[in-house]
Chain A
Amino acid sequence: MFDNSRNDILVRLKNVGVTLGGKTVLEDISFDIPAGRILTLIGPNGAGKTTLLKVILGVLSPDKGAVERKAGLKTGYVPQKTNLSRAMPVTVRRFLCLDRNYGDDELAGALNLTGLPPEFLDKSVHPLSGGETQRVMLARTLLKHPDLLILDEPAQGLDPVGEERFYALLDSLNQTEKCAIVMVSHDLHIVMAGSHRVLCVNRHICCSGAPDEIVSLPEYGRLYGDRPALAVYRHHHDHRHLPDGSVEYVD
Chain B
Amino acid sequence: MWTEPFVLRALAAAVATAVLAGPVGCLMIWRRMAFFSDTLSHSALAGVLLGIALGIGQNAGVAVVVCLTALLLGAISDKFIIGTDILLLIIGQTALCAGVVGLSLMPQVRTDLTAYLFGDVLSVTDGDLVFIAATGSLCAVLLAMNWKKQIFTALMPDVARSENVSTGRQSAVFMTVTALFVALSLKTTGLLLVSALLIIPPAAARFFAKTPERMAVYAAFAGVLCVCAGLACSICFDTPAAPSMEIACAVLFAFAALTRRKSADIM
Contact = CB atoms under 8 A, between A and B. Distances in A.
Given A90-B155, A123-B264, A75 B211 contact: no
A33 to B, nearest CB: 15
B30 A77 contact: no
Interface string B195-237: 0000000000010011111110000000000000000000000
A86 B159 CA distance: 18
A150 B163 CA distance: 12
Interface string A96-107: 001110000000
Interface string B109-153: 000000000000000000000000000000000000000100110
Most buried by A among B160, B210, B215, B267: B210
Chain B, interface SS category:
helix
B266 interface: yes
Among A89, A91, A124, chain B packs the most CB atoms within 10 A around the CB of A89
B29 A87 contact: yes
Categorize the interface residue count of chain B: 20 to 34
B212 to A, nearest CB: 5
A91 B265 contact: yes
A214 interface: no
Contact of A87 (B32, B152, B213, B214): B32
A58 B162 contact: yes
A121 to B, nearest CB: 11
Contact of B148 (A58, A77, A91, A100): A100
A31 B211 CA distance: 42
Q: Chain A contact residues (Cβ within 8 angstroms of B): what range?
A: 20 to 34
B156 A88 contact: no
B85 interface: no
Nearest to A141: B159
Contacts of A94: 211-213
A136 interface: no
Contacts of A176: none
A57 B163 CA distance: 9
B154 A124 contact: no
A79 interface: yes
Interface in A41-61: 54, 57-59
B211 A91 contact: yes
A127 B267 contact: yes
A129 B163 CA distance: 25
A144 B151 CA distance: 19
Given A58-B162, A84-B155, A89 B212 contact: yes
B78 interface: no
B151 A123 contact: no
A58 B152 CA distance: 18
Contact of A124 (B32, B148, B151, B264): B264
Nearest to A87: B29
B35 to A, nearest CB: 14
9 contacts: A86-B267, A87-B29, A88-B154, A88-B155, A94-B211, A94-B213, A124-B265, A124-B267, A127-B267
Chain A to chain B: the 3 pairs with minimum beta-carbon distance, closest first: A77-B162, A57-B162, A98-B152
Interface of A: 54, 57-59, 75, 77-79, 82, 84-91, 94, 98-100, 122-124, 126-127, 144, 150
